[in-house]
Structure 1
Amino acid sequence: MKKLVYVFGGLAAAGAGTYLVIYLYRWQWQRAMLCGVLLLVVEVMLFGLVTLGRLGRIEERLRDTDRRQRELTARQEDALARLRQPSADHEEARFRWLEDPADRTYVFVPVLMVTGVLLSGLAWVVQRIASATARPAERRLAGRLTVLTAPDPVAHDDLEDMPPLIAPPSPRRTARVAAVGLVAVALLGALVVGLADLTQTRDESRNDSAATSVILKVDLRGPDMSAERRSLAALQVWERCRDSTSVPLSHATLGDLQDGVFAGVVRPALTGHDRMRLRGCLEDATLEYAHLTVVGIGDADTDDD
């Protein structure tokens, strides 16, 4: 399910980014802003999904760690209880004679005291003999443990001859990463330069025609679809787009040709770039319940009616 969401999110982001570039090229700023907002929303959604997935995996690992720790603690407690049980049973059975009534007399205590004194003397003799004979054994044990001791500090010159702990990257991998980075930078630069070239305002050669004619069609959506409503919508969009070109359209008239079709005449004639900007402004979705379509746009000579 998550993979399907990622696929649809990636497709939505690619579509929004594509139409963002298209609408910027067509000078349709309202639609470009909508696509940009949609692209931003999709990117935030994908980032949130990835973050939630990472947090979910971290939380699952923490739960597994806690569960394993509890199981380990339980096993340790069980093993500790098993180890302590025999000693507890042995302690319960020790010195039962002390629980007998005090009116009975025993000879066990004096015998035990004399035996303790004799054993202490015997232990002292054994300790003296062992201390006299243990020195050779200690030397042999130290010789056996020599292999486990840390080596002597290595000189600085010897450290330089040792190989590095981290192997340097291979030349092929470095060249491959550098090539991929250069291609990515080149593509990004080409995209930015191309988009800037398509959307910038530039000086063009003057159009020698007398005027430029524009044919519009207005489509309304809603309960009120009268001719007056179409005419008002066409005039609102036309007046708003008169300053969308590089040269303000001070002489621009709009006439009604009936059935939602209007004809506009612009003087002086527009260049190719200004035509694109005027078309994009007219067809941009800025008026509620109304959509304008540029049916045709062309130059009109002085001999044309």
Structure 2
Amino acid sequence: MRRIAYVFGALAATGAGTYLIVYLYRWQWQRAMICGVLLLVVEVMLFGLVTLGRLNRIEERLRDTDRRQRELDARQEDVLTRLREPAAAEEEKRFRWLEDPAERSYVFVPVLMVAGVVLSGLAWVVQKVAATTARPAERRLAGRLALLSAPDPAAPGDLEDLPAPGNGSRRRTARLTAVSVVAVALLAALVTGLANVTQTRAEEANEHQATSVLVRVDLRGTDMSADRKALAARQIWEGCRDSTAVVLRHAPLGNLGDGMFAGVVRPALTDHDVLRLRGCLEDATLERAHLTVIAVDDVESGDDSR
């Protein structure tokens, strides 16, 4: 399911990015902004999916670490128990005669018996103090030996899940390097391409006297009268007169009927200004109105009626 989401997001991002570049090339800013917002939404979605995937992997690693720690603690307790078993058995055997000294009292003369009891008591106290102070050292020793102890046969093997030493890091480094190189190359190509198609440069003047533009106006709604179409066409036309690098001082718009209009622009437009004017006209934001550029042609001074 996650792979399907990644594929869908990648396709949506590719489409939105492609049309973003296309609309920027056509100087259609409204459509470019819509595609940019869509691209941003898709990127946020992909970033969220990647973040959730990373969080899930971190959670799985934490669970696996907890499981390994519990297994290690169990091994440590097992080793600590094994280390303490001889000491406990030895402790049970020592000074057993003190528990019931009356059984063998005939062995000792009174003076030796009292001295033996005192010395045995002192030795018992020393042994208890030594055993108490040695427990932290035993626990540390058990913690070190737990790493060398054999794992539980019933538990799954840990060594089989580990990658070969050095292979994982080298592969990750190679993949990261390749992805970085490709990303930098694509970014440089994108920036260079956008700069070439959208940067305004000084162009050679058009040798013709004027440029004619033939457009068609389409309205959505109930009121689609000729006057409404003429008003919408003039509003869009006047709004786009300042979209070119050349100041359009003389740009009349004539009504040809059936929603068709012809505009004459003086001075004649260069190729770049034609792109900017066409993009502005077709990307107009007038409500319920859409203007389509049918043809753009250069004319001489005596051919304005064409």
Same fold per superposition (TM over 0.5) = yes
2:52 is aligned to 52
1:30 is aligned to 30
Secondary structure at the residue paired with 2:244?
coil
Deviation (angstroms), 1:107: 5.2
Q: Structure 1: which 5+ runs fail to align?
A: 100-105, 121-165, 167-172
Q: Aligned pair 1:195/2:194, yes or no?
A: yes
Q: Aligned pair 1:271/2:275, yes or no?
A: no
Matches within 5 A, 1:118-197: 181=181, 188-197=187-196
Instruction: Check conservation: 1:6, 1:46, Cα contact below 8 A.
Output: yes
Task: Summarize the Cα distance change of 1:206–1:13 in structure 2 as closer, same or farther, 3 Å threshold.
Answer: same
Cα deviation, 1:195-250, whole Å, max 9, x if unaligned, reads: 32222222333333332221111223345444343333222211110001111212
Task: Summarize the Cα distance change of 1:71–1:289 in structure 2 as closer, same or farther, 3 Å threshold.
Answer: farther
Task: Summarize the Cα distance change of 1:285–1:55 in structure 2 as closer, same or farther, 3 Å threshold.
Answer: farther
Q: Aligned pair 1:295/2:294, yes or no?
A: yes
1:6 is aligned to 6
Distance in 2, matches of 1:189 and 1:196, equals 11
Secondary structure at the residue paired with 2:41?
helix
Distance in 2, matches of 1:216 and 1:41, equals 35
- Return the index of the structure with the highest Cα Rg: 1
Residue type at the aligned position of 2:299: A
Among all aligned residue pairs of Structure 1 and Structure 2, give the percentage whose two residues are the same amino acid.
Answer: 67
Secondary structure at the residue paired with 2:251?
strand
1:235 is aligned to 234
Distance in 1, matches of 2:78 and 2:201, equals 84
Cα deviation, 1:156-177, whole Å, max 9, x if unaligned, reads: xxxxxxxxxx9xxxxxx99xx7
Task: Summarize the Cα distance change of 1:248–1:85 in structure 2 as closer, same or farther, 3 Å threshold.
Answer: same
Residue type at the aligned position of 2:269: L
Secondary structure at the residue paired with 1:245?
coil
Q: Structure 2: which 5+ runs fail to align?
A: 120-165, 167-172
Q: State TM-score, norm by structure 2.
A: 0.63
Q: How many residues end up aligned between the 2 structures?
A: 241
2:253 is aligned to 254
Distance in 1, matches of 2:84 and 2:249, equals 103
Distance in 1, matches of 2:186 and 2:19, equals 18
Instruction: Check conservation: 2:213, 2:263, Cα contact below 8 A.
Output: yes
Q: State TM-score, norm by structure 1.
A: 0.63
Instruction: Check conservation: 1:31, 1:285, Cα contact below 8 A.
Output: no
Q: Aligned pair 1:212/2:211, yes or no?
A: yes
Task: Summarize the Cα distance change of 1:112–1:84 in structure 2 as closer, same or farther, 3 Å threshold.
Answer: farther
Cα deviation, 1:26-50, whole Å, max 9, x if unaligned, reads: 1112222222222222222222211
Cα deviation, 1:10-66, whole Å, max 9, x if unaligned, reads: 122222222222112111122222222222222222222112211110011112222
Alpha-carbon RMSD: 4.1
2:63 is aligned to 63
Distance in 1, matches of 2:193 and 2:30, equals 21
Distance in 2, matches of 1:275 and 1:85, equals 95
Cα deviation, 1:46-94, whole Å, max 9, x if unaligned, reads: 2221122111100111122223434554676688789989969x97xx9
Secondary structure at the residue paired with 1:295?
strand
Deviation (angstroms), 1:277: 1.1
